[in-house]
C-alpha cells in the first residue's frame, strides 16, 4: 500500500507511480506539441505585422485579457475533449503576442542569433529543472506562495514599466522573471513527479507559462543589452 499510495502536503492522496509517469509523459508530449502553434503564431505576427500597433497600455490590455480568458477556458475544458484544442489555441495567441518583441529583436544586427541564444538558454533551464525535479526528494510545495507573490510583483512592475518606458526597469524585471519562473518550472515539474498534479492539460499549461516567461525575459534582456 505504501508503494501504491502516499500523502504529502498537496492536500490529497497521490496516485500510483504508473499514473504519475503517464501524466508526466503526456505533459511532455503536449508541451512539445504546444510549441508548434506558438511558432506559427509568432511567424504570422512577424510576417503580417498584425500586432505591430498594440503598444503601451492597449497591448497590455489585449494581452492580459486574452491570456486570462484563454486560461479560464482551459480550466473549464481540461477534463473534456475540447481541452487540448483550447490549449493549442492559447499557445497560438501567445505566439502572436510574442511576435512584436521578436520583430523588434530581428531588427537588430544580431537579431537571429539573439533569438537562438534565448531559445537555447530556455531549453537549458528546462533541462536543469527537469533533472532537479527527479532527484530532489524533499517536498517543495511551500515554495508556491512565495513564487506566486514574486510573480505578482513582476506583473505589477511590468505594467508600471509599460507607462514609464525604462530600459533599466525592463532589465530588472526581466532578470527577476528569469529567476522566479525558472523556480516555478522546478515547482511545477516536482508537483507532477510527486503526483500533486494529475491533469496533464493543467500541467502543460503551467509549464508552458513558465517556459514562455523565461524565454520572453531572456529575449528582452538580450535585446536591450545588444541595442543602443
How much is the average pLDDT of 108-124? 91
pTM here? Answer: 0.87
Read off the DSSP letter of residue 140: -
Give tens-digit pLDDT for 62-87. Answer: 888 888 999 999 999 999 889 999 99
Listed by start position, the domains of the chain span 14-226
Q: Helix or strand or coil: residue 9?
A: coil
Cβ atoms 58, 2 nearer than 8 A: no
The overall average pLDDT reported for the chain is 86
Confidence of residue 30 (pLDDT cuts 50, 70, 90): very high
Q: What is the Cα–Cα distance from 70 to 208, expressed in whole angstroms?
A: 13
- Give the pLDDT confidence score for residue 62 in this predicted structure: 84
Statement: residue 41 has pLDDT above 60 = yes
Q: Helix or strand or coil: residue 7?
A: strand
Closest CA to 136 of 181, 89, 191, 86: 191
| Range with the poorest average pLDDT among 84-88, 104-108, 204-208, 209-213 | 104-108
Amino acid at each position: 500500500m505504501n508503494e501504491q499510495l502516499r500523502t504529502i502536503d498537496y492536500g490529497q492522496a497521490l496516485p500510483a507511480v504508473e499514473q504519475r509517469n503517464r501524466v508526466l509523459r503526456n505533459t511532455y508530449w503536449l508541451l512539445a506539441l504546444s510549441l508548434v502553434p506558438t511558432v506559427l503564431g509568432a511567424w504570422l505576427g512577424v510576417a503580417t505585422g498584425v500586432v505591430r500597433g498594440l503598444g503601451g497600455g492597449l497591448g497590455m490590455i489585449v494581452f492580459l485579457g486574452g491570456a486570462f480568458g484563454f486560461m479560464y477556458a482551459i480550466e473549464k475544458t481540461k477534463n473534456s475533449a475540447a481541452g487540448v484544442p483550447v490549449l493549442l489555441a492559447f499557445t497560438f495567441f501567445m505566439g502572436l503576442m510574442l511576435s512584436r518583441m521578436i520583430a523588434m529583436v530581428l531588427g537588430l544586427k544580431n537579431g537571429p542569433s539573439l533569438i537562438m541564444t534565448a531559445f537555447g538558454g530556455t531549453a537549458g533551464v528546462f533541462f536543469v529543472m527537469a533533472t532537479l525535479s527527479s532527484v530532489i526528494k524533499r517536498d517543495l510545495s511551500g515554495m508556491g506562495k512565495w513564487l506566486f507573490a514574486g510573480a505578482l510583483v513582476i506583473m505589477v512592475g511590468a505594467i508600471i514599466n509599460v507607462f514609464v518606458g525604462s530600459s533599466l526597469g525592463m532589465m530588472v524585471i526581466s532578470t527577476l522573471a528569469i529567476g522566479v519562473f525558472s523556480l516555478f518550472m522546478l515547482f511545477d515539474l516536482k508537483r507532477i513527479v510527486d503526483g500533486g498534479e494529475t491533469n496533464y492539460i493543467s500541467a502543460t499549461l503551467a509549464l508552458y507559462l513558465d517556459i514562455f516567461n523565461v524565454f520572453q525575459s531572456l529575449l528582452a534582456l538580450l535585446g536591450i543589452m545588444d541595442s543602443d
